[in-house]
Amino acid sequence: QVQLVESGGGLVQTGGSLRLSCAASGRTLSSYHMGWFRQAPGKEREFVAAITRYALRTYDANSVKGRFTISRDNAKNTVYLQMNSLRPEDTAVYYCAADTTYSGSTDSVWDYWGQGTQVTVSS
């Protein structure tokens, strides 16, 4: 079983950047496909991006294409989400997720979750 801890959230102005990190422990990160999801107040949790175990493929939601980049460093047991050109609508709690089988962007199929980190983009 893997434990996930997100960090790097905060308050940023529109157009700014943040890099989120997700540190894994308990099992080697390369055992898992990794994803980022977010949940804004009053809304359902939504898919942001995912990366396969050895970074051979990445997937992005249309809303973040060209602005967010997911990456991973298996040697450091860490996954990253580089967020550029941030918008107020990106404000949400961002969650890291892990799964041994990549089954797509539906949050219910992902097995392991972190506690989340708040990102707030001011206008």
Q: What percent of the chain has pLDDT over 90?
A: 90
DSSP code of 16? Answer: -
- Confidence class for position 69, pLDDT limits 50, 70, 90: very high
Q: What integer is the mean pLDDT of 66-93?
A: 98
The per-residue pLDDT for range 81-94, each reduced to its tens digit, is 999 999 999 999 99
Q: Is 54 exposed, middle or buried (0-12, 13-18, 19+ CB in 10 A)?
A: exposed
Q: Which residue has the higher pLDDT, 1 or 68?
A: 68
Q: How much is the pLDDT for 77? A: 96
The per-residue pLDDT for range 29-61, each reduced to its tens digit, is 999 999 999 999 999 999 999 999 999 999 999
Question: CA-CA distances (angstroms) from residue 36 to 13, 57, 65, 98, 113?
Answer: 21, 14, 14, 9, 10
Q: How much is the pLDDT for 105? A: 85
Instruction: Assess whether pLDDT exceeds 90 at residue 106.
Output: no
Q: Give the Cα separation of 19 and 4 in Å (integer).
A: 16
